[in-house]
Amino acid sequence: MRSARTLLAVSLLGLVAACGGTEAPAQLTGTELDPPFEVSATPLVDTAGDPYSLTEDTDKDLTLVFFGYINCPDICGQVMATLAGTLSRLDDEQKDRLDVVFVTTDPARDTEKAVAGYVERYDPSIIGLTGDLDDIIEVGRSMAIGIEQGEKLPSGGYDVTHGTQVMAVDADDETPMFWDYDVSQAQLAHDVTVLLDEG
């Protein structure tokens, strides 16, 4: 009887040691960057017409940045819906520590007023930016987001080629992580929660 109790006690101790003490690190969907990118301080223009820098004017623990354009036929709307859905999954305290920024890659057509209406359709808390195309290209390049205006289309319009990742900018004005355009709302909300908890 004693040996049976001893065996049970040893088994329970082993179980406690195996299950407790050290938690496994949370699995993240995003791609970690090591070393992180340094974000350009070049100011763009917000929907009120004021200068807005992704380094000087973001004072939250985490900022999600997406480069796209209003006339984008497919991926931009998908990513913007994902960002809005992600915000809806966060609590008020988390949202207070997070900014979400949309930067147009087509400032010739995407005026301040147009960008304001565009981001409003998804979530009124999303910050919309436009500005000089060269400045937008410079800021995008600092985060490895390529931007290029395409050939004129028969319709008279044109496509804009741009990176489709969602970039994370931390409190040190660096980009430690990014997500591909097909990340789900649940995956992005989970990763944002982990990054805010770590911050």
Is the pLDDT score of 140 beyond 90?
yes
| pLDDT over 70 percentage in the chain | 81
Element (H, E) at 120: helix 112-122
Asked, for residue 52, whether it belongs to a domain, the answer is no
**Token reading at 84:** 């809005």
Asked, for residue 168, whether it belongs to a domain, the answer is yes
Asked, for residue 178, whether it belongs to a domain, the answer is yes
Asked, for residue 71, whether it belongs to a domain, the answer is yes
Amino acid 96: pLDDT: 97
- Within a 10 A sphere around the Cβ of 60, how many other Cβ atoms? 17
Region of 49 please: left (phi>0), alpha (psi -120 to 50) or beta: left
Give residue-wise pLDDT tens across range 154-176: 555 556 778 899 999 999 999 99
Model confidence band, residue 5 (pLDDT cutoffs 50, 70, 90)? very low
Amino acid 6: pLDDT: 34
Give residue-wise pLDDT tens across range 34-67: 999 999 999 999 999 999 999 999 989 999 999 9
Higher pLDDT, 6 or 73: 73
Asked, for residue 69, whether it belongs to a domain, the answer is yes
* CATH code of the domain containing 199: 3.40.30.10
3 state SS of 123: coil
Amino acid 16: pLDDT: 34
Model confidence band, residue 190 (pLDDT cutoffs 50, 70, 90)? very high
The full 3-state SS of 146-199, as one line of letters, equals CEEEEEECCCCCEEEEECCCEEEEECCCEEEEEECCCCCHHHHHHHHHHHHHHC
- Contact, 178 vs 62, CB < 8 A? no
Give the pairing type, strands 51-52 and 62-68.
unpaired
The full 3-state SS of 16-70, as one line of letters, equals HHHHCCCCCCCCCCCEEEEEEEECCCCCEEECCCCEECCCCCCCCCEEEEEEECC
Amino acid 154: pLDDT: 56
Rounded Cα distance, 156 and 195, in Å: 44
Q: State which residues form the domain around 122.
A: 62-199
Rounded Cα distance, 44 and 189, in Å: 27
Asked, for residue 20, whether it belongs to a domain, the answer is no
Residue type, 135: D
What is the average per-residue pLDDT within 130-150?
A: 90
Q: What is the mean pLDDT of the chain?
A: 86
Asked, for residue 24, whether it belongs to a domain, the answer is no
Asked, for residue 19, whether it belongs to a domain, the answer is no
Amino acid 19: pLDDT: 39
Number of domains in the chain: 1
Give the pairing type, strands 51-52 and 44-46.
antiparallel
